[in-house]
Amino acid sequence: MSQHIMFTEAGRLVDASHRAPFLLTLREEDENELHITICCAKTVPNVQTSSTGNAALDGILARCTSLCPDESAKIELVFENYLLYQVRNESYCVFDADEVRSGTYLCTFERSKLLDYLPHAIDVHLIPDGTDAPASWKHYGVYTQNQIIDVIAPSEPTVHAFF
C-alpha cells in the first residue's frame, strides 16, 4: 500500500536504515516529468567464500555484511517539472564542505556547486519579472549505493512510500 509523504519524511525513513538506498528506476514520463524509484537496503547472510590466501583480508571479509535491495521498502519521487538533472557514479563524487545541505541520502541544498553552475547551463531568467529566478528553485540530491542523482526543480517532488 502506498502513502503520500513529504520529501523530508522520506529522507528520515531512508536514514533510519543507516544504509544508502538502491536505485531501482529512473525514467521520464510525460513532458519533463522525472520518476525516481529507490528502495532501502537490507542485510543478507554472507555466503562463505573460499580463502583469498591473505589471512588479514579473509578476517575482514568474514566480518562483512552483504547488502541487497529491499523491494518491500520502496519510495517513488516524482518531479513534475525540472530544470536539470544529472546522474553521477558515486565512486567519483566527493563531499564538498562549501555546499550547504540537509539530509543524508535524500538531501536538499541551500547552496551547491550545481546551483552556482545553473546560469551557465541553462537560460535561468526565463520570465522578465524575475518570478522564475534561481531563488525559487531548489537542488535535491538522491544518494544511492551506486549513483548520485541531482535534480534542480521549482517545486518539491511528489513522494509515495511503499512499506
- Rounded CA-CA distance 133/120 in Å is 14
pTM: predicted TM-score of the whole model, two decimal places: 0.86
Q: Say how far residue 12 (Cα) sits from the centre of its chain.
A: 13
Is residue 135 a contact partner of residue 129, using CB atoms and an 8 Å limit? Answer: no
- In which element (H, E) is residue 15 found? helix 7-15
The answer to whether residue 89 scores a pLDDT higher than 60 is: yes
- Which pLDDT score is estimated for 99? 94
- Rounded CA-CA distance 38/116 in Å is 27
- Which pLDDT score is estimated for 11? 96
Q: What is the pLDDT of residues 99-150, one digit of tens each?
A: 999 999 999 999 999 998 888 888 766 555 555 555 578 999 999 999 999 9
- Rounded CA-CA distance 147/90 in Å is 5
Closest of 155, 142, 134 to residue 101, by C-alpha: 142
**pLDDT, the chain, mean:** 90
- Which pLDDT score is estimated for 48? 67
- Rounded CA-CA distance 163/146 in Å is 22
Provide the 3-class DSSP secondary structure of residue 115. Answer: helix
Q: Which residue has the cell 544508502?
A: 20
